[in-house]
Copies of this chain bind each other. A is one copy, B any other.
Amino acid sequence: MSDPTQKPSLDVGASPAFVKQNLRVWLKMLKATKHIEATMREKLRMEFDTTLPRFDVMAALYRFEEGLKMSELSSALRVSNGNVTGIIERLVSDGAVLRVPVVGDKRAMLVRLTHKGRDEFARMAAAHELWINDIFSSLPPDTTARLSSIFDTIEHSRGLIAGDDHA
């Protein structure tokens, strides 16, 4: 959430030119990201008749064969609890996901992909990987390497952006 040690924006380094420059960069990054996301959304719908949220949920479950608790799932995806409930409901009724009670804790539910779900996701993930590759390999030569370098630097800098992903 919000960091209590965060200072109000009275930074000395906030010269108007830099402020505008930061805003411009953010808007460009946002636009590029949304464009790619929209492409993935459309392709998932056209070729697999599914949605991006479902894909994201299945991706998380795919990584954890043993299953995840609902709370683990929602915090992994950084979405609200109530959100996951609905998506899982539909995945269950489609036979892609299985709900298993957790022994020793009657509150919790373990959620995991069915065999069918794993197969489906494996095919979607392979396609998704290629779609992304198509886009990035059509960009100017060093784009991926340069972006990679930037995001690595950010991650190692304890910046406000880096996710605390243990992977």
Given A1-B138, A78-B34, A21 and B144 touching (CB < 8 A)?
yes
Cross-chain contact B161 with A153 (CB below 8 angstroms): no
A130 to B22, CA, bound (A): 9
By a CB distance below 8 angstroms, the chain B residues around A23 are: 129, 132-133
* Interface locus among A4-12, A86-94, A115-123: A4-12
Whose C-beta in chain B lies nearest to the C-beta of A14? B133
Contacting B at CB under 8 A, from A6-35, are 6-7, 9-11, 13-14, 18-26, 28-35
Interface size of A by CB at 8 A reads 65
A135 within 8 A of B: yes
Q: List 17 A-B contacts (CB under 8 A).
A: A1-B138, A2-B42, A3-B138, A5-B141, A6-B134, A6-B142, A9-B131, A9-B133, A22-B132, A22-B135, A22-B137, A23-B129, A28-B147, A29-B147, A32-B151, A135-B161, A140-B159
Please give the residue numbers on chain A whose beta carbons come within 8 Å of chain B beta carbons, in ascending order: 1-3, 5-7, 9-11, 13-14, 18-26, 28-38, 42, 78, 129-148, 150-151, 153-155, 157, 159-163, 165
